[in-house]
Amino acid sequence: MPRLPGLVVTDHVFTVPLDHSQPDGPTIEVLAREVVAAAKVDADLPWLIYLQGGPGGASPRPMSASGWIGRAAKDYRVLLLDQRGTGRSTAVTARTASSRTPAELAAYLRHFRADSIVRDAELIRAQLSPDKPWTTLGTSYGGFITLTYLSLAPEGLKTCLITGGLPGLDTIADDVYSRTYPRVRAKVEAFYQRYPEDVERVRRIVDHLRDNDVRLPDGDPLTVRRFQTLGLNLGMGDYAETLHWLIDGAWDDGELGAEFLYGVMERTQFGTGPLFSVLHESIYGQDDRPTNWAADRLRPAEFDGDAEHFLFTGEMIYPWMFDEIALLKPFKEAAELLATATDWTPLYDVPKLQANRVPVAAAVWHDDMYVDAGLSLQTAARVGNLKTWITNEWEHDGGRASGGSVLDRLLTIAADLPPA
């Protein structure tokens, strides 16, 4: 059991079915990292399982008894789940793709949505906390998983806490992206208002990329549209500053400098966590309605680079990424099969959610670039025993950026709700 400042960490590895409907079939491994305050190692603490954002995001790696983990460890034994396909769980990588045909790979990846993650969690709970429900803390996509959990196995839940992650219950990818693009534009315009000098700086970079074959350090082409994806994190608290300073230091004697190119590569390297790209629209797959590259189809013409201010894009995945990003190329055909799939299993049981009795406290970020507040509030009105806290005090990463204060607020809200 390694000891960090104020914490004791224990890794648990579980073998789970790839397909939970075939418990005797192929298996994968899922890592769950237990974190407990050093002074409470032997205490009989309730469990809190953290559901990471994504899709395809590994759990945070604890460093010390600070931030939200330090706050949670005051009252809970915290479980940081590397969701299937991520981190030290059986990972999905380019090597995964190379050993399967496109059809086999697409079929394999369909087992990495929220319903499978929930069933993994229930198998883990049966071993770590038998006969005792636990508390969940879900951020962003982790909130989506939470509502799937409430739909499939509410008996495993004592309390649910959500930050910036209430999905539309019956919306499809088209509904999501038609609402997302205007919010992305607003974030980009706010960025330029904060840093007006970057309007011309960005335009100079774009013109250079159009006229030259620029390569990133890994050999991938730096095209205008790859550069444009730097807007992905503009909905996070301090990313505007990160982007500004990257642009500020872009040039080296008339050419784009090495530091800039490395920075762009690191921030647009979608292939290092391919589940994020390959499954991004699949998390909105509903019944017989294909996602069909919704972000690409619904992309407004103003994002093609001819607007008064060059517009960065946000949390959107486009087909061209599977041609231009080397680590995504092995997933190209499988991604196309997933985009055209018309047989998605439902992720939310609306009648069960309406009758829900598990206390749910949800923070809704009013100006969230990623999860539409309007859709979140529509969902909140349809889920029983759920109370929202609506605020523009934080951006999408408020649960992390606030230290423990957001978690404190949610725990207080949940304590005032009727117990299950």
pLDDT value at residue 359:
98
Yes or no: say if 223 and 305 are a contact pair by the CB < 8 Å rule: no
Q: Which residue of the set 140, 277, 376, 402 is catalytic? A: 140
What residue type is assigned to position 293 of the chain?
W
d(CA 159, CA 107): 33
The CATH class that applies to domain 3-170+348-415 reads: alpha beta
- Catalytic, 208? Answer no
pLDDT value at residue 350:
97
Yes or no: say if 226 and 215 are a contact pair by the CB < 8 Å rule: no
pLDDT value at residue 271:
67
Q: Which residue of the set 111, 208, 280, 396 is catalytic? A: 396
pLDDT value at residue 301:
94
pLDDT value at residue 287:
80
pLDDT value at residue 1:
60
pLDDT value at residue 267:
94
- Catalytic, 396? Answer yes
Domain limits, the chain:
3-170+348-415, 173-339
Yes or no: say if 106 and 334 are a contact pair by the CB < 8 Å rule: yes
Query: Which residues in the chain show pLDDT less than 70?
Result: 1-2, 271-272, 306-307
* pLDDT tens, residue by residue, 130-166: 989 999 999 999 999 999 999 999 999 999 999 999 9
Q: Which residue of the set 42, 253, 343, 416 is catalytic? A: 343
